[in-house]
A and B are shown apart, each in its own frame.
Chain A
Amino acid sequence: MPENTSTNSTVKAYQKKKNKDEMKKQLIAFASMIAFTLIAFGIVATESVDKMFLIPIIVIMAVVQVGFQFYYFMHMKDKGHAMPATLIYGGVWAALLTLGGLGLITWW
């Protein structure tokens, strides 16, 4: 029994360290999200980029930032997230179709 307890606490320590390492990755994800936000606001506020390039750049930065949110903050990169990924990408697919459809009837 004492042996058992010691094994258990080693596992706990390992798990705690794993959680801590995970938290470090989350902080890096957060820092890059802040950086993307600063760049997006910065280039709009200073009008330093041509309008033709500006909109695609800020939209791409938004998509990357959302990727961090999904894969790191919402743990989609972790094991056991195949079904959640299927569900959310199903939603994203329908969302893109909706945007495409509305765009088509508006501008075409």
Chain B
Amino acid sequence: MSHDHSLNPETMPQDPEKATLEGKNKFMGLWFFLGGEAVLFASLFGTYLALRNSTADGPASDEIFGLGLVFVMTMLLLTSSLTSVYAMYHMKNNDYSKMVLWLGITALLGVGFLACEIYEFAHYITEYGFTFRSSAFGSAFYTLVGFHGGHVLFGLCWVISLLIRNAKRGLNLYNAPKFNTFSLYWHFIDVIWVFIFTVVYLMGKVG
């Protein structure tokens, strides 16, 4: 193999993302990071559950939540999780342009999700006067859901940087682990959202 680690179908290892020591370490490090993220979000969920009925005469969850928009957001994020699976499928088949295409679709779906969330927050603030300072419920809600939205924004910046930086490089053993770690992170964002739509929105709707 040449010293720049460029991949061609004859020399490509089965799992390019874990073929180098650096790749293995990135893979392990990301899982360790996700374990930590799980604890971070658990503390936010715990706080939300404790404060979700402390509305201080402000708007309550069943008055403001609309299931339609949340359903659209769920579908957008869930589909973006599948498209990043497709991206990693093409990475393993050493098809760089298709991988880029699917990561681009993933990013677009992520942007759609974020746009819906911004619209949702703006709607709560302007229509119901429901803000971060309305009540303990308001603070807990915006902290939890906003933290998730912040993670989506971070993921979008991450994948766009990767796509721009590696646009002319093609797939190699140096950047394959980078794409794979992003994909794992993106799945985890979806994992957190599954709990948010269940615990915050669906449970908030039934009271």
Contacts and interface: CB of A to CB of B under 8 A. Distances in A.
Interface of A: 5, 8, 12, 15-16, 19, 22-23, 26-27, 30, 33-34, 37, 40-41, 44-45, 47, 51, 54-55, 58-59, 61-62, 65-66, 69-70, 73-74, 80, 83-84, 87-92, 94-96, 98-99, 101-103, 106
14 contacts: A12-B9, A16-B93, A19-B89, A23-B89, A40-B198, A41-B71, A65-B194, A69-B191, A73-B190, A91-B36, A91-B37, A91-B39, A98-B42, A99-B46
Given A44-B205, A55-B206, A66-B195, A34 B45 contact: no
Contacts, number: 128
B148 interface: no
Interface of B: 9-10, 14, 18, 27-28, 31-32, 34-39, 41-43, 45-47, 49-50, 67, 71, 74-75, 78, 81-82, 85-86, 89, 92-93, 184, 187-188, 190-191, 194-195, 197-199, 202-203, 205-207
Contacts of B14: 15
Given A19-B92, A62-B195, A102 B31 contact: no
Q: B interface, by DSSP: helix, strand, loop or mixed?
A: helix
Given A44-B67, A87-B32, A98 B43 contact: yes
A52 B92 CA distance: 46
B91 to A, nearest CB: 10
Given A19-B93, A44-B67, A91 B35 contact: yes
Contacts of A33: 78
B47 A90 contact: no
A73 B27 CA distance: 15
A73 B81 contact: yes
A58 B78 CA distance: 17
A40 B202 contact: yes
A8 B42 contact: no
Given A61-B198, A87-B31, 4 more contacts: A44-B205, A69-B194, A88-B34, A91-B39
B191 A70 contact: yes
Contact of B67 (A45, A58, A92): A45
Nearest to B51: A106
Contact of A74 (B67, B74, B187, B194): B187
B82 A30 contact: yes
B32 A102 contact: no
